Amino acid sequence: MKKNLLLFVFVCLLSSNNILAQTQPTVNSPVYYCQNSTAVPLTASASAGSTLIWYGTNSSGGTGSSNAPIPSTATVGTTSYYVSQTNGVTQSTRNSIVVNVVADNSSRILNFRCDPSQIATGDRYSSVFFDWSNTTGLPNQYTYSYSIDGGTVVTGTTVDSHLQVFGLSQGQSVTLTLQHTTYPCDRSFLTCTVPCLTLATPTFNQIAPICSAASVVPVLPSSSLEGINGTWSPAVVSTTASGTYTFTPNPNECATTQTMNIVVNPDNPGFSDFSICSGNGAPNLDTTSPNGVTGTWNPATIDDMNSDSYTFTPDSGQCASPQTITVTVIPSDVLVDFNWTVTEAFAENQKITVTAIAAGGDYLYKLDDGPFQSSPVFEYVASGSHSITVMDQEGCSMPITKNDILVINYPKYFTPNNDGFNDTWNVKELSSQPSAYIRIFDRYGKFLKQISPNGNGWNGAFNGYLLPADDYWFVIHYLENNIIKEFKSHFALKR
């Protein structure tokens, strides 16, 4: 009896192992790859309690491995890979996975697009609709995979040239990867987003004013109080200047942009030293600084007769430190008069040099209607009568102007053609000297004419004849500083 029982158990075990040995692992075959594309390890499913054994391209023999092979995509063609399973006692026969590598002819999924027009009204804010066109010459079977907002990947196949994904929320996005099942070279990607039915307004706790150059910089929150995620621009809070920061919700967030103004309080009031004129009344000291800091002064009022220092103390609760400025009091009405000297007559560079008669101070000088300059010397001044103005740079003295400052020189040429311009030659600047006279000679020293500076001048004629265009010489006798002087030079007659 005992021998019969043992025999029965042995037969049962043998029968069970034979059943396992005849059960192969489940595979997905065939698998398609585009030539030279990136391949991934092959997959198969073992029965409960069993593990996979991979044999590469060996249909029999070879050494098994627990690591799934990665197909080669370098060459166009068909290759079979083999896998079995074992429960640790017996092993199944091998199942095959056919890998087809196809050449890329550059065709792609046609008219791949998001098409919300094909979504029913009731599903408009809970689904997306992908649409494409059938490709001539290829079978209309497509393999796809998609994820919602980068979540779990869903895979499948379809013979339709469209795919609708349901069960979404407004603002969610679906990214679809699509290819012909038997022609993976047209692998394409597209993201469609559910439109927003309503836009929420993100709100944030206001960041309190911060001190300039603060050691601790507040961080802008990446989510609103309602849980809306997004980004800020600028992304980092400045500690040197107040500014406006804009929050832009992420694409899948149905929300509007929001702004936040962050105030940076200065660490310096920003006052500057200044000057005033003595005795003209003291200006008020501002209790609000140029940088917007409020506070008090000590002394509280300015002495308009004496230079002094004044200290500004900010009110409590502000970032700024106390600041001391200097108020300089400049004496008033110290400019009394001025003198001038002019380079001697007929000098090549005629200069006017001005000397202010004043009890100190800095002055500006102006020739005629020109700009004021800090230098008291004017160079290359044209001949004739001029005016000079001297002004206190600080405005504490009234400006003084003097006219009829004479610079004496002579014309370098004249054109006696009766056109009304430069028809005669003379030195008009000496017309106020009745004793002055001018003698004119040709280049050979022949005396031609004597004229007076207060006369009509020389018309370029000699004894009624017009002289030719040439250089002519002159000698002028005149007074300068009550001294009789003589000057010689030449000028041009042009016709």
Domain count of the chain?
6
CA dist., res. 189 & res. 175, Å (int): 7
131 and 169 in a common domain: yes
- Is residue 11 situated within a structural domain? yes
CATH number of the structural domain spanning residue 345:
2.60.40
85 and 23 in a common domain: yes
- Is residue 205 situated within a structural domain? no
82 and 6 in a common domain: yes
- Is residue 203 situated within a structural domain? no
Final residue belonging to a domain, choices 366, 383, 407: 407
pLDDT per residue rounded down to tens, the chain (495 residues): 444 444 444 434 444 444 445 699 999 999 999 999 999 999 999 999 999 999 999 999 999 999 999 999 999 999 999 999 999 999 999 999 999 999 998 878 899 999 999 999 999 999 999 999 988 888 889 999 999 998 999 999 999 999 999 999 999 999 999 999 999 999 999 999 999 999 999 999 999 999 987 888 999 999 999 999 999 999 999 998 999 999 999 988 999 999 999 999 988 999 999 999 998 888 999 999 999 899 999 999 999 999 999 999 999 988 899 999 999 998 888 899 999 888 878 888 989 999 999 888 889 999 999 999 999 999 999 888 899 999 998 889 999 999 988 888 889 899 999 999 999 999 988 888 899 999 999 999 999 999 999 999 999 999 999 999 999 999 999 887 788 888 888 999 998
Residue 405: per-residue pLDDT = 86
Residue 93 has which token pair?
């026969």
Residue 344 has which token pair?
């001697």
CA dist., res. 480 & res. 114, Å (int): 100
The residues, ordered by sequence, that sit 6+ positions from 355 with a Cβ below 8 Å of its Cβ are 338, 339, 340, 341, 376
Final residue belonging to a domain, choices 372, 390, 407: 407
- Is residue 288 situated within a structural domain? yes
- Is residue 199 situated within a structural domain? no
Residue 435 has which token pair?
């004793």
435 and 478 in a common domain: yes
Q: In Å, what is the CA distance from 132 to each residue of 177, 231, 336, 457, 458?
A: 12, 34, 95, 101, 102
- Is residue 201 situated within a structural domain? no
* Residue written as token pair 């005033």: 276
- Is residue 78 situated within a structural domain? yes
* β-strands 470-480, 483-493 pairing: antiparallel
CA dist., res. 375 & res. 390, Å (int): 11
Final residue belonging to a domain, choices 46, 72, 102: 102
- Is residue 200 situated within a structural domain? no
Question: Which letter does DSSP use for residue 435 in this model?
Answer: T
The residues, ordered by sequence, that sit 6+ positions from 351 with a Cβ below 8 Å of its Cβ are 342, 343, 377, 378, 379, 380, 381
Contact 240, 212 (CB under 8 A): yes
**In terms of C-beta density within 10 A (0-12 exposed, 13-18 middle, 19 or more buried), how is residue 345 classed?**
buried
Q: In Å, what is the CA distance from 55 to each residue of 62, 67, 81, 287?
A: 6, 9, 7, 89
423 and 401 in a common domain: no
Residue 226 has which token pair?
């309602």
User: Domain range holding 289?
Assistant: 274-330
483 and 417 in a common domain: yes
12 and 94 in a common domain: yes
Residue 352: per-residue pLDDT = 94
